[in-house]
């Protein structure tokens, strides 16, 4: 039955892209593109003033030789001579500057780190947890002292009503009613426990915020004091450095070093740079992988929706339900029915919805008349013939 197999077969995932191969090919393409671009951007350049010659040394190494024409080389040497004279003049002025070693001994002392000895102590996590535990216990115990008499009165009143209605003590209906009452009371206690924890945590958080807020304020005050001391020292240092640097600035201005000598006028050629982009091999592999992944994800989503619709249709409350063990997952034993059938909690393979019911293979061993097969060869169970109902959880 190829149709049945195709109906329940999940789509096959696409083959994984060869990212390793694509990356290697991309790397090789990048290297080759860089080499071509490098060669294209290293032309020999000639102008009326100078020339630049490129020599290929092999192994991606190049030498660049720059030279001026004789007329402009003579001009460059004349400029170097002028610069030397500027330097000699500056040297004569420098001899008159103070010669003592630069020292910061006259400045205010460097401020110390913030003194945290007088700050408010922060509570430890152990303190916070202990406080929260005490609050939780007090809150719970006060509420429990109010609820305990109510629970006792509720059970006394229920026992009286049950006996007055003709249900003897110890009967199944009597015991079930008492059990339901106690279960509700246990739920109330669990809710009370959760409320106690939230109350304790809220008060503990408030205590921690108050402590941290006070400490943050004190730290801000201390930091402001240290910052003020640092500003005073920085101002003193600025004045001191200005007294040392001002004579040097005057010497630089008088010696002509405030503006550098004019450079030799050269133009060369305006050669536009060439750019070579490698082929996007790796990006293409990534895009193909992303496309295949999206297609496969859509196929899986469609398959899941189809299987969910089929399972919901098979277990939508009809007496005849799909109960084959092979279409179920997360099967957990719950209890045994009066007739001895095992009752389980489970999910269908295509849905997270939980149900309770039987396993068809087990029912087939003790009551085959309640078991049948659908057109796909899967086992169905007629719950009308059993003392168990299939229910959503």
pLDDT digits (tens, 9 = 90+) for 326-347: 999 999 999 999 999 999 999 9
CB of 123 closer than 8 Å to CB of 207? yes
pLDDT tens digits for range 192-238: 899 989 988 898 898 788 878 877 887 887 778 778 878 887 887 78
pLDDT at residue number 257: 56
CA distance 279 to 28: 10
pLDDT at residue number 266: 54
CB of 319 closer than 8 Å to CB of 383? yes
Is the pLDDT reported for residue 315 higher than 80? no
Sequence-distant (≥ 6) Cβ neighbours of residue 273 within 8 angstroms: 41
CA distance 208 to 123: 7
Distances (CA, A) of 21 to 15, 24, 25: 14, 5, 6
CA distance 324 to 314: 11
Least confident range from 6-10, 66-70, 140-144, 187-191: namely 6-10
CB count in 10 Å sphere of residue 141:
10
Provide the 8-state DSSP code for 100: S
Least confident range from 257-266, 328-337, 343-352: namely 257-266
Average pLDDT of the segment spanning 77-84: 77
Dihedral, CA of residue 6, residue 9, residue 10 and residue 16, to nearest 10: -80
Share the mean pLDDT of the chain: 81
Which is higher by pLDDT, 64 or 276? 64
Least confident range from 67-81, 113-127, 260-274, 337-351: namely 260-274
Sheet strands side by side (includes 45-46): 45-46, 50-58, 61-68
Tell me whether residue 72 is exposed, middle or buried, using C-beta atoms within 10 angstroms of its C-beta: 0 to 12, 13 to 18, 19 or more: middle
φ, ψ for residue 135 (rounded to 5)? -65, -45
pLDDT at residue number 64: 84
Is the pLDDT reported for residue 185 higher than 60? yes
Q: Which helix (H) or strand (E) holds 304?
A: helix 281-314
Average pLDDT of the segment spanning 136-150: 89
CB count in 10 Å sphere of residue 344:
20
CA distance 139 to 199: 8
CA distance 330 to 94: 90
pLDDT at residue number 122: 74
Highest mean predicted confidence (pLDDT) among 3-7, 84-88, 290-294, 383-387: 383-387
CA distance 364 to 371: 6
pLDDT at residue number 352: 93
Tokens of 225: 């004091």
Rg of the Cα atoms in the chain: 45
Dihedral, CA of residue 70, residue 75, residue 79 and residue 85, to nearest 10: 90
CB of 65 closer than 8 Å to CB of 53? yes
Which is higher by pLDDT, 122 or 23? 23
Q: DSSP 3-state assignment of 45?
A: strand
pTM exceeding 0.75: no
Tell me whether residue 243 is exposed, middle or buried, using C-beta atoms within 10 angstroms of its C-beta: 0 to 12, 13 to 18, 19 or more: exposed
Q: Which helix (H) or strand (E) holds 65?
A: strand 61-68
DSSP output for 126-173: HHHHHHHHHHHHHHHHHHHHHHHHHHHHHHHHHHHHHHHTT--TTSHH
Provide the 8-state DSSP code for 107: S
Q: If pLDDT is split at 50, 70 and 90, which confidence band does 42 have?
A: confident
Average pLDDT of the segment spanning 292-303: 74
Highest mean predicted confidence (pLDDT) among 213-217, 268-272, 365-369: 365-369
């Amino acid at each position: 039955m190829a149709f049945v197999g195709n109906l329940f077969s999940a789509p096959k995932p696409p083959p994984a892209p060869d990212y390793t191969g694509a990356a290697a090919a991309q790397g090789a393409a990048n290297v080759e593109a860089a080499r071509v671009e490098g060669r294209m951007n290293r032309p020999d350049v000639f102008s009326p003033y100078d020339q630049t010659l490129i020599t290929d040394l092999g192994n991606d190494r190049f030498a660049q030789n720059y030279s001026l024409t004789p007329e402009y080389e003579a001009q460059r040497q004349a400029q170097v001579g002028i610069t030397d004279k500027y330097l000699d003049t500056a040297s004569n002025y420098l001899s008159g500057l103070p010669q003592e070693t630069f020292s910061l001994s006259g400045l205010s002392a460097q401020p110390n780190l913030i003194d945290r000895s007088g700050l408010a102590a922060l509570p430890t996590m152990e303190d916070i947890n202990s406080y929260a535990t005490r609050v939780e216990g007090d809150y719970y115990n006060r509420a429990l002292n109010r609820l305990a008499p109510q629970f006792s009165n509720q059970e006394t009143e229920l026992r009286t009503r049950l006996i007055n209605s003709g249900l003897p003590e110890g009967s199944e209906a009597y015991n079930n009613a008492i059990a339901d009452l106690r279960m509700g009371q246990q739920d109330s206690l669990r809710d009370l426990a959760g409320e106690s924890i939230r109350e304790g945590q809220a008060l503990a958080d408030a205590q921690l915020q108050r402590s941290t807020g006070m400490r943050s304020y004190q730290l801000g005050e201390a930091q402001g004091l240290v910052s003020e001391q640092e500003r005073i020292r920085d101002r003193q240092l600025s004045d001191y450095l200005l007294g040392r640097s001002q004579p040097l600035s005057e010497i630089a201005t008088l010696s002509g070093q405030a503006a550098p000598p004019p450079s030799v006028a050269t133009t060369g050629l305006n050669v536009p740079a060439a750019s070579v982009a490698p082929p996007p091999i790796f990006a293409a592999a990534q895009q193909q992988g992303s496309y295949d992944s999206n297609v496969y994800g859509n196929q899986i989503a469609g398959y899941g929706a189809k299987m969910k619709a089929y399972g919901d249709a098979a277990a939508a409350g009809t007496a005849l339900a799909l109960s084959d063990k092979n279409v179920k997952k997360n099967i957990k034993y719950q209890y045994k029915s009066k007739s001895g059938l095992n009752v389980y909690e489970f999910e269908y393979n295509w849905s997270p919805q939980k149900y309770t019911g039987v396993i068809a293979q087990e029912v087939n061993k003790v009551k085959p008349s309640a078991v049948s097969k659908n057109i796909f060869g899967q086992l169905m169970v007629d719950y009308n013939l059993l003392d168990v109902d299939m229910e959503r959880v």
